[in-house]
Structure 1
Amino acid sequence: MLSHHGTSSPYAAISRAIKEQSIQRRVHQPLYLRTPSRTRSSSCSLVWLVVVLFVASLFTTSEAAHGDLRDRRRRPPFPTIPVITDNVAPTPKGHSLLLVDTRPPPYVPPLMPPTNDGYSSRIRSAPSIKRADDGFQIPRPFDSSLSNNFTDNCDNFFQRMLSSETVTTCHPFSMLLQTSNGFFEASKSFVRITQTLEATCAANMSQCVGGMNALARELTTNSACGVDYNNNNAQAVQAYNALIAYEPLYRASCLRDDDGNFCYANAVTNTTSQGSDANPYYMPLGMKLVSGRPTCNSCLQKTMAIFSTFAGNTSQPISQTYPAGAQQIVVYCGQNFVNVTAAPLKGSASATSAAFTPTLTLLLMFFLYIFQ
């Protein structure tokens, strides 16, 4: 009987045979293919680790993407704009990327006022009375100091005349035109001269004519300025001519053009004519027309037509100045623009017939008496 260590069993023989074959294969195998069993298991473990990490990274990336999408859905895309208190209408609820201010833009005043051709200083868009200064006062005649070369009677008359109701309520254009410094200053502004003309033309012409004629008659008396007037005192003569020329200058100064503006306001503020348009208005005061080219418009034509009707009255100063002035205007405006000769006075024919009536009556009575 073999001992436990000295006797070989069939299983032991098979195990030895397998080991010998393994040793032989390892001996004949190339060196680069000879890998220890531990190294192979490590390589397999490394491969599995790489695969697991790759799958885990994919899962993590997917979760992060979904989580970011959920976060973006939960929060607004832009930071919340702080609310500013203003008079802008409140915006509707919800998020909006554009805030629109629906208020009208602020008014920006123009740098320069609009101008019109011809009369740059005029304001024709609104009634001038509303555009004038509130503190503006209507000019007064003889507003500068009176001459000391007056008799006492004449000085007293001037004081009474200038404070009389006739002068203070009628605002006579005829007296302002030549004797008022305030009127001269107002003539530099279309607004102020228009306001002045509105005051002078608002007077009752019929009543004012009677008052002016009464003052003119009183002026020539010795108890007033008769001595001064006969001695050709400048202010006495100016006052008399202005008083009797009230009606023709009232009618002429109150004329308006097609736009509703006063013809005199247009004439005196027209700087392009260099004063020629305003010169005809001085003819009723006994002043000759100054040479110059006037504007040949409807205002000048109507003004000269008014003067023509008064030029036939020898008691009016314009009877001495109209013929030469009309001839001068004809040179620039044409032969048919104005009447060169004075128009006949209204009622002159009937006055002539009435003058001869008493003479004819006396002759008829004389013949009837003889042949009775």
Structure 2
Amino acid sequence: MHLQRRDGDATPTSSSPSSTASIKTDPSATAADFVVPKPFDTALSNNFTAPCAAFFKAMLSNSSFNDCHPFSLMLQTSSSFFDASKSYIRITRTLEATCSVNSQQCLGIMDSLALALREDANCAVDYTNDNPQVLQAYNGLLAYEPLYQASCLRDDDGNYCYANAVTNTTATSDAYPYYLPLGAAMPGGARPTCNTCLQDGMAIFSAFGGNSTQPISQTYDGAAQQIDMYCGPTFVNKTATPLKGTASGISVSLTPSITLFIMLLVYFFQ
């Protein structure tokens, strides 16, 4: 492994590699006006059942959820994240925020919310009816851990791999692998750069790809075989190879965390 990965409770400082390693600048990205993007930061669709709309409102207004700055939920649902991705500095600051949280605590919150989302009293009907925003939320909650790990990878210069990928205008396919954990297949013509960022990111995804509860279980093998065709037959594992203790799964016996219960109680009885 060539890249560095943050621990779940590590806190970046002004002297962290991501703050100093790059000379890329953006005059518009001043510290004073930067706000960490949030999931679903545009108007939600009106195509929700009432219980599901209430669930989303409770989730998105909960400070414990928001303090996790979930990268997996920002990728497909955040307009401000999309805007931040246009600036190397802004997306780096976003990643510093998402990677400085206690990931194990946040994982418990995301797992609990994923279970609660599909309950009859919340969004079960909307999920069954393939409501796009409900499916995005569910997949994003499930994919929190693999995308936390992948988004916090750095290159040998200390720069975030995702920041490099999303701002690389000469290799526009570099960001595609980050959508695999959300259940989005890599386009057939995509050719991400064959570098250590891609190799180490796919190694993370391989460890989750064999877990049938994870959306990436449907996308990893095809992407890996595609990458190996042009990066070499040993560049990544062609099939998912989960490691013991690596991939977390949502099981029916998992009890929602106290954080979730408090969140719902505060919302419904305020």
With the length of structure 2 as denominator, give the TM-score of the two structures. Answer: 0.80
User: Are 1:241 and 2:139 counterparts?
Assistant: yes
- SS of 1:139's equivalent in the other structure is coil
Q: Distance in 2 between matches of 1:281 and 1:165?
A: 26
User: Are 1:157 and 2:55 counterparts?
Assistant: yes
**2:198 is aligned with what amino acid?**
L
Percent of paired sites with the same residue:
60
> How far 1:132 sits from its partner (Å)?
3.5
Q: 8 Å contact 1:166–1:212 — kept in the other structure?
A: no
Identify the match of residue 222 of structure 1 among 98, 120, 130. Answer: 120
Q: Which has the larger radius of gyration?
A: 1
Q: 8 Å contact 1:313–1:345 — kept in the other structure?
A: no
Q: Distance in 2 between matches of 1:334 and 1:158?
A: 44
Q: Structure 2 vs 1, CA of residues 347 and 293 (structure 1 numbering), >3 Å: closer, same or farther?
A: closer
- Alpha carbon RMSD of aligned pairs, Å? 1.8
Moved over 3 A (4+): 125-128
> How far 1:166 sits from its partner (Å)?
2.9
Q: Distance in 1 between matches of 2:53 and 2:119?
A: 13
User: Are 1:300 and 2:198 counterparts?
Assistant: yes
> How far 1:301 sits from its partner (Å)?
0.3
Q: Which residue of 2 aligns with 1:145?
A: 43
Q: 8 Å contact 1:123–1:190 — kept in the other structure?
A: no
Q: Distance in 2 between matches of 1:157 and 1:347?
A: 31
Q: Which residue of 2 aligns with 1:325?
A: 223
> How far 1:330 sits from its partner (Å)?
0.7
With the length of structure 1 as denominator, give the TM-score of the two structures. Answer: 0.58
Identify the match of residue 202 of structure 1 among 100, 114, 119. Answer: 100
- SS of 2:136's equivalent in the other structure is helix
Deviations 1:126-175 (A, max 9, x none): 899xx744111111100111011100000000000011133211000000
Q: 8 Å contact 2:72–2:140 — kept in the other structure?
A: yes
Q: Distance in 2 between matches of 1:190 and 1:165?
A: 27
Identify the match of residue 280 of structure 1 among 177, 192, 199. Answer: 177
> How far 1:299 sits from its partner (Å)?
0.4
- SS of 1:170's equivalent in the other structure is coil
Deviations 1:227-264 (A, max 9, x none): 10011110001000000100000000000011110000
Q: Which residue of 2 aligns with 1:258?
A: 156
**2:109 is aligned with what amino acid?**
G
Q: How many residues align?
A: 224
**1:315 is aligned with what amino acid?**
T
